[in-house]
């Protein structure tokens, strides 16, 4: 078993690698370069590093201006500040003009745990996927984090990347391809699939083991790391098994589950379908594992939800 790593550390530090590779890469912070672990970039490239202070709206607009002049800004802050405080700047200054700004959002979902609802965001995924031109990704392990960052350099458009707080193991092998609209089948399924992203992927993998060992069910896990656009082929494969659980660290309204459900219904596909997510409510501060358990996003919650779902007629 690999050692657990903090994905924000991986991403923040890897930005320096991108900076070495491409002189157009610049970083814009809003006083959270420490929290977002990208100080190595400013140490290496002080001229290409900006810190606008606690001013997320300005961070986004400023980055849009830099992108307008051909630079590739990576902006960092916590998901609620990026997706909500600066929402209109993202939409009007970045997305409307299709500017090449990469938005790195830490504390996505309820992963912020004891920091509470002011610092986590269950809304960001729904908000960002609703903005035209913005591609939305979520990171599940350090290998795909690095690979996605490499890939992001080739995307000349707005990109929003969600990152959870808690450290995670690696779930990826060394050989895999990351792309817009892609997904990764981590476990092949027969009786059903768990479609998920981010931190939840790790719980889904554990849930799949429980389902096999305790219920003799072969349940696959697909990392839908590209939430918008999403991988319709992967969805069809899951739907064909007739049992689909979507597990997401964000509100049940908007984001991954809503996008997949829309596609299923519009195509007239049928299957048992359930979205596990934050149940459209505010909840007070608690450690992330407690919150994941509460919303059935831990291994037991996901496996139990799958079992009850699979008993339904369809």
How far, rounded to the nearest angstrom, does the alpha carbon of residue 200 sit from its chain's CA centroid? 10
Minimal distance, residue 19 CB to other proteins, in Å: 13
Q: Which residues bind other proteins (CB under 8 A)?
A: 26, 47-48, 50, 52-53, 55, 57-58, 61-71, 88-89, 92-93, 96-97
Minimal distance, residue 3 CB to other proteins, in Å: 38
Nearer CB in complex with other proteins: 47/154:
47
* C-beta separation of 308 from 302 below 8 A: no
* Interior/surface letters 262-289, b for 16+ CB within 10 angstroms, e for the rest: eebeeeeeebbbbbbbbeeeebebeebe
Minimal distance, residue 159 CB to other proteins, in Å: 18
* C-beta separation of 164 from 10 below 8 A: no
The three state secondary structure string of 41-62 is HHHHCHHHEEECCCCHHHHHHH
Q: Tokens for 49, please give them.
A: 């590093």
Q: Tokens for 156, please give them.
A: 């000349």
Minimal distance, residue 16 CB to other proteins, in Å: 18
Nearer CB in complex with other proteins: 45/269:
45
Among candidate residues 202, 165, 164, 162, the one with its CA nearest the CA of residue 186: 202
Nearer CB in complex with other proteins: 52/128:
52
Nearer CB in complex with other proteins: 42/183:
42
Minimal distance, residue 93 CB to other proteins, in Å: 5
Rounded to whole angstroms, the maximal C-alpha distance in the chain is 62
Minimal distance, residue 116 CB to other proteins, in Å: 24
Q: Say how far apart CA 48 and CA 41 lie, in whole Å.
A: 8
Nearer CB in complex with other proteins: 93/124:
93
Nearer CB in complex with other proteins: 100/184:
100
Nearer CB in complex with other proteins: 61/140:
61
Phi, psi of 108 (to 5 degrees): -70, 155
Nearer CB in complex with other proteins: 130/133:
133
Minimal distance, residue 107 CB to other proteins, in Å: 21
Among candidate residues 222, 217, 234, the one with its CA nearest the CA of residue 304: 217
Minimal distance, residue 191 CB to other proteins, in Å: 48
């Amino acid at each position: 078993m690999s050692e657990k790593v903090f994905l924000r550390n991986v991403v923040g530090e890897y930005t320096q690698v991108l900076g070495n590779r491409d002189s157009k890469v610049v970083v814009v912070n809003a006083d959270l370069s420490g929290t977002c672990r990208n100080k190595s970039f400013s140490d290496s490239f002080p001229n290409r590093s900006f810190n606008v202070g606690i001013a997320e709206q300005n961070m986004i607009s400023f980055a849009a201006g830099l992108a307008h002049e051909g630079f590739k800004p990576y902006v960092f802050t916590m998901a609620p500040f990026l997706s909500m405080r600066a929402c209109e700047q993202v939409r009007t200054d970045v997305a409307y003009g299709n500017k090449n700004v990469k938005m790195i959002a830490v504390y996505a979902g309820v992963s912020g745990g004891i920091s509470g609802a002011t610092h986590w965001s269950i809304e960001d995924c729904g908000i960002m996927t609703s903005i035209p031109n913005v591609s939305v990704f979520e990171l599940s392990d350090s290998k795909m984090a690095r690979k996605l960052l490499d890939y992001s350099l080739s995307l000349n458009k707005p990109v929003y990347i969600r990152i959870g707080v808690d450290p995670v193991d690696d779930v990826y092998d060394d050989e895999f391809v990351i792309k817009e609209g892609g997904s990764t089948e981590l476990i092949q399924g027969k009786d059903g699939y768990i479609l998920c992203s981010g931190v939840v992927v790790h719980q889904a993998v554990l849930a799949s083991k429980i389902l096999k060992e305790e219920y003799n069910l072969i349940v696959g896990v697909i990392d839908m790391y590209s939430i918008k656009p999403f991988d319709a082929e992967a969805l069809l494969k899951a739907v064909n098994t007739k049992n689909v659980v979507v597990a997401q660290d964000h509100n049940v309204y908007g984001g991954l589950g809503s996008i997949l459900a829309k596609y299923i219904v519009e195509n007239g596909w049928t299957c048992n379908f359930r979205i596990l997510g934050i149940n459209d409510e505010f909840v007070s501060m608690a450690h992330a594992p407690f919150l994941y358990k509460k919303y059935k996003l831990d291994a037991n919650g996901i496996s139990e939800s799958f079992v009850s779902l699979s008993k339904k007629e369809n």
